[in-house]
Amino acid sequence: MIQIEGNKCDFCGCCVGVCPVDCIEVMESIIEIDDEICIDCDLCVFICPIDVLSSVATATI
Protein backbone atom coordinates (compact mmCIF):
# COMPACT_ATOMS: atom_id res chain seq x y z
CA MET A 1 0.00 0.00 0.00
CA ILE A 2 1.18 3.53 -0.75
CA GLN A 3 1.04 6.10 1.99
CA ILE A 4 0.68 9.82 1.22
CA GLU A 5 2.51 12.02 3.71
CA GLY A 6 0.37 14.77 5.19
CA ASN A 7 0.02 17.89 3.09
CA LYS A 8 3.44 17.62 1.43
CA CYS A 9 2.12 16.95 -2.11
CA ASP A 10 2.53 19.66 -4.78
CA PHE A 11 -0.06 18.04 -7.14
CA CYS A 12 2.35 17.94 -10.08
CA GLY A 13 1.07 14.66 -11.54
CA CYS A 14 4.54 13.18 -12.13
CA CYS A 15 3.59 10.02 -10.21
CA VAL A 16 0.41 9.69 -12.32
CA GLY A 17 2.53 9.66 -15.50
CA VAL A 18 4.52 6.57 -14.44
CA CYS A 19 1.75 4.59 -12.72
CA PRO A 20 1.18 1.43 -14.81
CA VAL A 21 -2.43 0.93 -13.70
CA ASP A 22 -3.75 4.52 -13.60
CA CYS A 23 -4.83 4.34 -9.97
CA ILE A 24 -3.60 7.80 -8.86
CA GLU A 25 -5.89 10.78 -9.15
CA VAL A 26 -4.56 14.33 -8.74
CA MET A 27 -7.16 17.07 -8.59
CA GLU A 28 -6.33 20.72 -7.97
CA SER A 29 -5.27 20.14 -4.38
CA ILE A 30 -6.28 16.57 -3.64
CA ILE A 31 -4.36 13.37 -4.31
CA GLU A 32 -5.96 9.94 -4.00
CA ILE A 33 -4.60 6.45 -4.62
CA ASP A 34 -7.00 3.57 -5.18
CA ASP A 35 -5.54 0.75 -3.06
CA GLU A 36 -7.83 -1.80 -4.70
CA ILE A 37 -6.15 -1.25 -8.07
CA CYS A 38 -2.59 -0.42 -6.92
CA ILE A 39 -0.10 -3.23 -7.64
CA ASP A 40 2.58 -1.96 -5.22
CA CYS A 41 5.21 -1.45 -7.93
CA ASP A 42 6.59 1.63 -6.09
CA LEU A 43 7.32 3.57 -9.30
CA CYS A 44 5.40 6.55 -7.89
CA VAL A 45 7.51 6.42 -4.72
CA PHE A 46 10.77 6.57 -6.73
CA ILE A 47 9.73 9.37 -9.07
CA CYS A 48 8.14 11.82 -6.61
CA PRO A 49 10.57 14.77 -6.49
CA ILE A 50 9.78 15.62 -2.86
CA ASP A 51 9.35 12.26 -1.07
CA VAL A 52 5.60 12.51 -0.52
CA LEU A 53 4.91 8.81 -1.06
CA SER A 54 6.14 5.75 0.76
CA SER A 55 5.35 2.11 0.56
CA VAL A 56 3.95 0.43 3.65
CA ALA A 57 3.61 -3.29 4.13
CA THR A 58 0.01 -4.44 4.41
CA ALA A 59 -0.79 -7.14 6.94
CA THR A 60 -1.71 -10.46 5.37
CA ILE A 61 -4.17 -12.71 7.13
* Binding positions for ligand SF4, rule: CB under 6 A: 2, 9-15, 19-21, 23-24, 26, 31, 33, 38-44, 48, 50, 52-53
Candidates 8, 61, 58; CA nearest to 35 is 58
User: Which of the choices ligand SF4, another protein, none does residue 31 contact, using the CB cut-off of 5 to 8 A by kind?
Assistant: ligand SF4
Under 8 Å between Cβ of 52 and 4: yes
Q: Footprint of another protein on residues 8-27 (CB under 8 A)? A: 10, 12-20, 22, 25-27
Coil, strand or helix: which one is 44? helix
CA distance 9 to 26: 10
Q: Which residues bind another protein (CB under 8 A)?
A: 10, 12-20, 22, 25-28, 43, 46-51
